[in-house]
A = this chain, B = another copy of it.
Amino acid sequence: MAMYKAPLRDMQFVLNEVFEAEKVWSSMPATEGIDLDTVNAILEGGAKIAENELFPINLSGDAEGVKFEDGKVTTPTGFKEAWNTLAEGGWLGLGGNPEYDGMGMPKMLTVLFEEMLYAANAGFTLYPSLNTGATILLDAHASDEIKQQFLPPLYAGQWIGTMCLTETQAGTDLGLISTKAEPKDDGTYTITGSKLWITGGDHDLAENIIHLVLAKLPDAPAGSRGISLFLVPKFKVNADNSLGEFNNVNVGSIEHKMGIKGSATCVLNFDGAEGIMIGEANRGLMAMFTMMNYERLSIGIQGLGLGEVAYQSAMDFSKERLQSRAPNKEDRHTDKAADPILVHPDVRRMALNVRAFNEASRAFASYVGMQLDLSKFHEDETIRKHGDNMMALMTPIAKAFITDRGFDATVEAQQIYGGNGYCTEWGAEQYVRDARIAQIYEGTNGIQALDLMGRKVFSNRGEFVNVFTQEVREFLASCADQPNMQEWISKLETELKRLESLTASVIAAAEKNPAEIGAASVDYLNLFGLVTYGYMWARMVSVAQRKVETDTSGFYSAKIKVGNHFLKRILPRTLALEQQVLAGADVLMDLEEEAFYVN
């Protein structure tokens, strides 16, 4: 059946052995007090909640779904209790600002906590994820007064945050929004308009919901330069934080979706609701990007979590499933009617694909978290700047590549079950449905690729790419003394050159024709993702090679073998992607628009 055990050993490996988190943390005043005991306690505590509270209500939450009756939204059985557990344990402020009662834990740790929650129950985890994003936005852009008033109850789970961007006519293109904010004499604003696809737009988990809403002032410039940001609570908040009257935020309907059925996705009508402006007028989209960038990494981790639970569940199934005989006689279990299906090379291929991506995604999420921590907390400006650049470069890859590979992982894991994987009771098909949305929301993966290719590569003429390749080359140089790393070093060097040359080609082409950016973007992102995962695997294998001789657990030996699968059977995908990018824009633009449509 479905199973989930938090992969604590692998998490500790990533944190302590691959990235030497203690060293990183001790170099920054904001994190210098964090020791391994604290970290382990956090990971173990998170694992308990994920395994014992969230996972048992995952399948039932999908079957039951969210209900919308008499204008009110109810979450599935057990969700409220699970929320309370998180709230009471202080988990909702895990990465929060200590000045306002947050726990101040670094991102490279909290990504691992998030992975456990998503793995155990993706539909549920969107509520805390949006809440965290809202607190990050407020912490970065709100006045101290607002932070004093709103952050502590949000960290405590007494209230919960949302993100209100999309409208019917404005999804990717937020410049088209029409929600209006009219200034009132008391300094607040009257918000009127309708928002679509609001995750956690209404529900019964917390006593108040704090909406962060994009809207336009009466005199706003057209397009995305005329968007402001407002805090709009469901119930107005008095000075002592007691709740006042209902603020005219009405639920129009909830969406019926392919998956994440425990997550309430609402149409919200702001019928003259009172809002407080956050940050500067007409600069709302920039402020919202603080939240979006957090959510993009968080949604990447949704892909990883679902890939991980899909792997574990499929392996649990495989252990008991006996079908056919191993190709080689010496591998056959002749005492049984047939062999466990993992004797078959193709079943192993699927399992290794899933695992090779999951383990690289875990390292990558923590790596991106580390860059965020460095960019935020480090005292050395050069290091802060490096972290900032890497964050900017890696965020679209983290969102798109982890979720694309996460979706593939759930599909490939489902395939291992044969027909059982298609039947609801095993859980495998729910992971596929739940993973699918992660490729779509928070900016589709196509939009992530455009962000990477346009803003993060083309607009700085490959400067960030060079920062990345230099970092990888420094790492490869540090492995020069490891005989077992020579194949990794030479293959990754080939991939770095491929990435650099392709980057130069696209930049040159796009200088002549802007359509080359969008034409190259998705294949380029996938190639970049593979090279990045190659780097993650090289770092993991390098550590494992140094320790495998004296290890009896099998952990390092497995790490090396899974890494070898990545190197030999996954990394070659760059060969195809390179040619696809080089094919250029004309191939795509030649066909007349009318010829796409069916009349």
Contacts and interface: CB of A to CB of B under 8 A. Distances in A.
Interface of A: 3, 5, 7, 166, 169-173, 176, 196-197, 255-259, 311-312, 315-316, 318-319, 322-324, 326-328, 337-338, 340, 342-352, 355, 411, 414-415, 418-419, 421-425, 429, 432-433, 436-437, 439-441, 444-446, 449-450, 513-519, 521-522, 554, 557-558, 561-562, 564-565, 568-570, 572-577, 579-580, 583, 585, 587-598
A352 B580 CA distance: 13
A490 B348 CA distance: 36
12 contacts: A258-B422, A318-B597, A319-B597, A343-B593, A344-B446, A345-B585, A345-B589, A346-B446, A348-B591, A352-B591, A554-B592, A558-B595
Nearest to A170: B323
Given A171-B418, A569-B583, A256 B514 contact: no
A318 B562 CA distance: 42
Interface centre among A322, A558, A575 (most CB of B within 10 A): A575
Contacts of A433: 258, 433
A397 to B, nearest CB: 16
A3 B598 CA distance: 9
A401 to B, nearest CB: 15
A256 B423 contact: yes
A579 B316 CA distance: 31
A533 to B, nearest CB: 15
Contacts of A166: 419
A319 B595 CA distance: 11
Given A349-B588, A515-B345, A424 B257 contact: yes
Contacts of A568: 579-580, 583, 587
Contacts of A554: 592, 594-595
Contact of A322 (B169, B344, B519, B593): B169
A593 B322 CA distance: 14
Given A521-B346, A576-B576, A593-B343, A514 B562 contact: no
B315 A598 contact: yes
Given A344-B518, A561-B591, A595-B554, A576 B572 contact: yes
Contact of A255 (B316, B355, B423, B589): B423
B591 A349 contact: no
B346 A450 contact: yes
A593 B342 contact: yes
Given A518-B345, A519-B346, A590-B564, A419 B432 contact: no
Contacts of A570: 580
B424 A444 contact: no
A62 B568 CA distance: 42
A345 to B, nearest CB: 4
Contact of A419 (B340, B350, B422, B440): B440
Contacts of A326: 515
A332 to B, nearest CB: 12
B593 A349 contact: no
B514 A424 contact: no
Contacts of A517: 327, 345
